[in-house]
Structure 1
Amino acid sequence: MTQAHVAILDDEPQIRHMLSEALTEAGFRTTTYARATEFEAALASGAPDVCLVDLGLPDKDGLALVHRLALESGAAIIIISGRAQVQDRITGLELGADDYIIKPFDPTEVVARVRARLRRDRDDNQGTGNTAHFEGWTAQFDRYVLTGPDGEERAISHAEGEVLRLFLERPRRLISRAQMQEELGGAAGESFDRAMDVRISRLRTKLNEDPKNPRLIKTIYGAGYIFLGEVRWS
């Protein structure tokens, strides 16, 4: 079985070593980077399965990097940061991160979060195909790309893709916030709810939905969401 590849971006040598050692012992392949520029250069030869990204980088804004990764890489993104404010966590999740771990942390927690993220992705891929067709649209989850009825492609982030896949696997069924939290992971609360609102809003925009009267992703106030399109998987 191919080892999952975890990239670690943190300017603190002790943290890079601690994470790399713990993940290697757990059976992962790791590469470490101290600066965003060398990390971005390495991405040109292929994206890792998971990116662990510190926000306090010496050469680039960490949140801007997270946003770019979410849009372009298709990798799962876990922020590791000393910024513990709720708004920092909300912002990180809104920009496309899949999880947020606050320093100081136990490395075994990071290993567990990485395993959970990869297990969720693997279960998704085994449950159905990687391509969904609905109402003239095509969603390719191996590339994280939406293709519209006009043939135009638009990228979706890994986090947006998780939400869209959840809807497409359960068309015409009510999905509550509690179900979303259980399926997608992360701690329930304000930061999770806000992140879901933002991801759904972005999906509606990319699907050319009317924000006041969306046709496909409907909000059932006080209950959750429902996807109303017909879906075929391949």
Structure 2
Amino acid sequence: MNQPAPMVAILDDEPEIRTMLSDALQDAGFRTASFGRATEFEAALARTAPDVCLVDLGLPDKDGLALVHRLALESGAAIIIISGRAQVQDRVTGLELGADDYIIKPFDPAEVVARVRARLRSGRDAGKTVSVARFEGWEAQFERYVLIDTEGKETPFSHAEGEVLRLFLESPKRLISRAQMQENLGGAAGESFDRAMDVRISRLRTKLGEDPKNPRLIKTIYGAGYIFLGDVTWG
């Protein structure tokens, strides 16, 4: 039985942009659902789970960044911000709050299609591997986006945090440079990428109960990158 085409949810208050994106994505073989208000978008999420969410930050009824942050914590979808805010700090903030990518308006629809395909390809590649890892008393369930401690307490992590965690767990006790992280996780190299990685790693350390001044599992090798020191088993 054939799998349905991936679903892309589009949230933008400009009808022309919704139509342009929907047409381009449908021509590329995707299913789409378009929304002009955050309340409509959130109501739809209760009924269906999109594979990718395209989210504008300038929404009429809710704060776009707050919505992105909630999606990152509660949804397994990849999140791509589409925004007219072009400042570096805006991009950094969006990535820090859990977005997987950031596209600045005006854009070519073909670029959006390419970015959506890249995020889905990353997810499929991850899906080909085992989705549960155990390390130092923790269990990471990547299909559910949760960490489980020895007492069974569950702590959710975002799609973006999960990409970083999987990268560490697939290469324990090996140095992972910034360049390797950029190559594996995508995104443009530079200050915004580095800041986003720092924040995601900091959040992972907090969720793992690490001492921020002397982390036991995720070590920073200054000027070189990071190394994960735990023993890991998959399956």
Under a length normalisation based on structure 1, what TM-score does the superposition of the two structures give?
0.98
The corresponding residue for 2:29 is 27
The corresponding residue for 2:206 is 205
* 2:81 is aligned with 1:79: yes
Q: What is the CA distance between 1:39 and its match in structure 2?
A: 0.3
The corresponding residue for 1:141 is 142
The corresponding residue for 1:98 is 100
Unaligned runs of 5+ in 2: none
Q: What is the CA distance between 1:150 and its match in structure 2?
A: 1.9
The corresponding residue for 1:60 is 62
How far apart, CA to CA, are the structure 1 residues paired with 2:160 and 2:29? 25
Deviations, residues 98-118 of structure 1 (Å, cap 9, x unaligned): 000000000000000000010
The corresponding residue for 1:132 is 133
How far apart, CA to CA, are the structure 1 residues paired with 2:151 and 2:221? 30
Secondary structure at the aligned position of 1:132 is classed as strand
Q: What is the CA distance between 1:124 and its match in structure 2?
A: 1.4
* 2:55 is aligned with 1:49: no
Secondary structure at the aligned position of 1:90 is classed as helix
Deviations, residues 92-151 of structure 1 (Å, cap 9, x unaligned): 00000000000000000000000001001111111x201111111011111111111221
2:81 partner letter: I
Q: What is the CA distance between 1:169 and its match in structure 2?
A: 0.6
How far apart, CA to CA, are the structure 2 residues paired with 1:231 and 1:117? 26
Unaligned runs of 5+ in 1: none
Deviations, residues 3-24 of structure 1 (Å, cap 9, x unaligned): 1000000000000000000000
* 2:164 is aligned with 1:171: no
The corresponding residue for 1:120 is 122
2:35 partner letter: Y
Matches within 5 A, 1:148-227: 148-227=149-228
How far apart, CA to CA, are the structure 1 residues paired with 2:48 and 2:223? 42
Under a length normalisation based on structure 2, what TM-score does the superposition of the two structures give?
0.98
How far apart, CA to CA, are the structure 1 residues paired with 2:47 and 2:230? 37
* 2:14 is aligned with 1:12: yes
Secondary structure at the aligned position of 2:53 is classed as strand
Deviations, residues 170-226 of structure 1 (Å, cap 9, x unaligned): 111110000000100000001000000000000000000011111110111110001
Secondary structure at the aligned position of 2:41 is classed as helix
How far apart, CA to CA, are the structure 1 residues paired with 2:56 and 2:183? 26
Secondary structure at the aligned position of 1:31 is classed as strand
How far apart, CA to CA, are the structure 2 residues paired with 1:66 and 1:156? 14
Runs of 4+ in 1 over 4 A off after TM superposition: none
Deviations, residues 11-70 of structure 1 (Å, cap 9, x unaligned): 000000000000000000000000000000111113210000000000000000000000
